[in-house]
Structures are given as C-alpha cells and as structure tokens.
Structure 1
C-alpha cells in the first residue's frame, strides 16, 4: 500500500443555496464508532434541522478499510453519496463529513441537491489541512553475529526504526519500516546472508 493522505484537523464551512443553509463539519475519525458519535452530537446540537446527512471513509480513499453514508431523509442518492464522492476525490482519508441542512423554502430538485451537498463538502475540503500517512510494517530479523554491523547499515538505508535488540546464539532485532521498503530489504538480506537470515512479520500499522 502506498502513502496516502488523511484529514489533519476539524474544519467547518457554511454554504447558502437558494435560502437553504448547509453547515458542513469535517472531523478526523479512525473508525465507525467515532464517526457515529459525532453524528449523534450534531443531531442533538441541531434538533430543528431538516436533515443531518453524513459520509465517512476510513483509511486510504483508494483502498478504504470501510466507508458509509446517509441521506437522512433527502431523496436517495442526493446527499450522502455525493458527499462520499468528494471525500474520495479529495483524498480525505480517516474523515467524517456531516452536513446539517436548514430548508429555506425553495426546493432544489435532485440535481440541485447533489450539487449543493457536493459543493458544501468540496468547499470545506478546500480549506482543510491534510497529513500524509506512511503504512509501516513490523519485522523480526535474526542473523549471525558476524552480520550485525551490515544489518544495521541496511536498516539505516531503508529508514527502519530499531525497536529492540536481543542476543542469544544469534542477533535478533525488532524493527518498524515503511511497508514499501520491506521487499527490497528482505531481498538484500536473503542475498547477502545466502538465505541464512530469519525474517518474520510481527504486524503492521499506519503512522503519520
């Protein structure tokens, strides 16, 4: 998985379209539970609003871990789906978008609603801060003592973080490194140790 961007901080925006107010709120979220907590907060904060529509996407927008949306009473496909589309196109991963609508008396029609909800989120996204996430992987590597110095050189070259070192009949290191550097490191270790290096995956995570 390559690097991707996520929402860095809360963002708010107001769009008025034919007397209807569209209050947009963007929040960084890491899972559905966090997203739904925010949605409930806005429903409680704006009990007289006509609609509280939302969309969220967790992880890389191109390969999301999970995503969902709600039209909250608007005609199907006119609110939540366009909102989610904007999050995807703007590459706002780990992001919840909530749009609170107050009806202004003038009906917008299906096309008008799609444009309004899309514009509401797009304009909020234009002012939002993003940060880049580099997927990482944790490895455990065991080599002979004679190869320790060379191993440390290779770890520096691939920008790995040395988390732990232990000594027994071999040297064993626990490291975290960018996921896209894993294959090159493993290939080099296998080549230089003639296959003697013991490489095991300990887990993976994403870090900013």
Structure 2
C-alpha cells in the first residue's frame, strides 16, 4: 500500500561558497522527467556562464526505485549528481528537483571535495524547503440504489475521498477517488450496508 508522503511545496535558491567556487542550489517541485528537463533548461538560461549545471530529481516518493535521475554535467563521474541524489533520497521529501550551478573559483576541490560541496549544497537548501502531505488516491466505480446514495456519500466524505463522476439512471453510477489507505475500510462499510451486494470495481475495463 502506498502511504502518504511529504512533497516539496515551494521553490528556493540557496548559495554556498567553497574555496572561492560558487555553488547555487535551486530546488523546486517536480513530478516528471520532462519537468526536470524544463527546469534545467531554464536554469541554464539564467546562468549561461556557469561552469557546470548538475542536477538530481525525484518524481515520486523518496524511496521510489524508478522515478529519479541525476547528472554530473562534466564534473568527474560520481562527484556531483550522485551525492546530490543521495541527499534527496535521504531527505524524506518526494517530487522535487535540485539543480546546483557551479562557478569555478580557480581551486580544484578533488573527488571528495566535490562530493561534499555538491551534497552539502543540496543538504543546506533542503532546510529551506516547505512541504505538504500527498495522499495516494485510487479511482473506483460503484453502482448503488437511490436509497443507498446518502450512506455511500457519507462513507466517501468520512474517508476524505471525492466523487469524480455521477450518473443517475435506473441506478446511481459513481466514479469515486479514495485514499488508498482507506480503501479496505470503505469496502467493508459498503458490504455491511448492502449485505455484501455493493462492491467497488476498477475503472480499468481490462481489470475485473
């Protein structure tokens, strides 16, 4: 079951100086690879003279094994994008993109120094990020009698769900969005109300 998790709710910019090199970190909400690419394009337009534009992003939960990416953008392999991503994944916040712009200050930092500088830049910026809680929702179909509709609406409201669509014909046809963690409870309530006749169905026609 997908549990609620924190997501970035604002965009911030934070700058650190390490051995005369400027590290400017941009963190913004991000929900797709395309979103991250667009943010990178905009950042490069803002800082066309920067030495590097390194990034890391999470498009879902912090522990999502698929929705992430990173780039060293010309820095030695593993010294920028990877430590930035490690900080994001350990930050307990999902759906965000971090871009660190570096203006070289004339002093080489070495592998360890670069890892600390890029990771530290993101870690410091994360302290400024505001968060909100995202509740994973699932959509279900339900057919009920008119005499049951008030109880059904009450169950949905109590579960903090939403009515996406409703059609009134011989019976009431509903499409409902429910928090995934409330799904079992609502199913049980519907079963009790209807002596086992009311069931939630998938909105995917290929799933029965």
Query: TM-score normalised to the size of structure 2?
Result: 0.88
C-alpha displacement of 1:101? 0.8
Tell me the residue number matched to 1:161: 162
Match of 1:206 in 2: none
1: distance between equivalents of 2:63 and 2:33? 18
- Where structure 1 has 5 or more consecutive residues not aligned to the other structure, the ranges are 204-208
C-alpha separation in 2, matches of 1:83 and 1:40: 18
Q: Deviations for 1:91-115, whole angstroms, at most 9, x for unmatched residues? A: 3322111111112122211111111
RMSD of the TM alignment (CA)?
Answer: 1.9
Distance 1:154 1:46 in 2: 52
Counterparts of 1:69-148 in structure 2, within 5 Å, are 69-148=70-149
Superposed, 1:40-79 pairs within 5 Å as 40-63=41-64, 65-79=66-80
User: d(CA) in 1 for partners of 2:50 and 2:156?
Assistant: 55
Deviates more, 1:142-151 or 1:90-99: 142-151
**Distance in structure 2 (CA, Å) of the matches to 1:179 and 1:159:** 11
Structure with higher strand content: 1
* Conserved 8 A contact 1:137-1:201: no
CA positional deviation for 1:120: 0.3
Q: What does residue 151 of structure 1 align with? A: 152
Corresponding pairs, count: 203
Distance in structure 2 (CA, Å) of the matches to 1:114 and 1:177? 42
Deviation at 1:24, TM superposition (A): 0.8
User: Alignment partner of 1:139: what SS?
Assistant: strand
* SS in structure 2 at match of 1:63: coil
Give the SS at the match of 2:134: strand
In 2, the alpha carbon distance for the partners of 1:35 and 1:187 equals 41
Aligned-partner Cα distance in 2 for 1:136–1:72: 36
C-alpha distance in structure 1 between counterparts of 2:57 and 2:45, whole Å: 19
List aligned pairs for 1:178-193, cutoff 5 A: 178-193=179-194
Larger displacement relative to structure 2 (168-177 or 116-125): 168-177
Distance across 2 between alignment mates of 1:172 and 1:19: 65
> C-alpha distance in 2, partners of 1:141/1:90?
39
| Distance of aligned partners of 1:38 and 1:165 in 2 relative to their CA distance in 1, 3 Å threshold | closer
Kindly provide the CA deviation profile for residues 19-51 of structure 1, in whole angstroms up to 9, marking residues without a partner as x: 111011112222111211221222233232221
Query: Once the two structures are superposed, what CA deviation does each residue of 1:56-86 show, in whole Å capped at 9, x if it has no partner?
Result: 1101112255111001111111100111111
Q: 2: distance between equivalents of 1:156 and 1:66?
A: 31
Q: Which residue of 1 aligns with 2:27?
A: 26
- Report the counterpart of residue 4 of structure 1 in structure 2: 5
Q: Is the 8 A contact 2:93 2:131 kept in 1?
A: yes
* Residue number in structure 2 paired with 1:175: 176
Distance, in Å, in 2 between the alignment partners of 1:4 and 1:200 is 26
1:59 alignment partner, SS class: coil
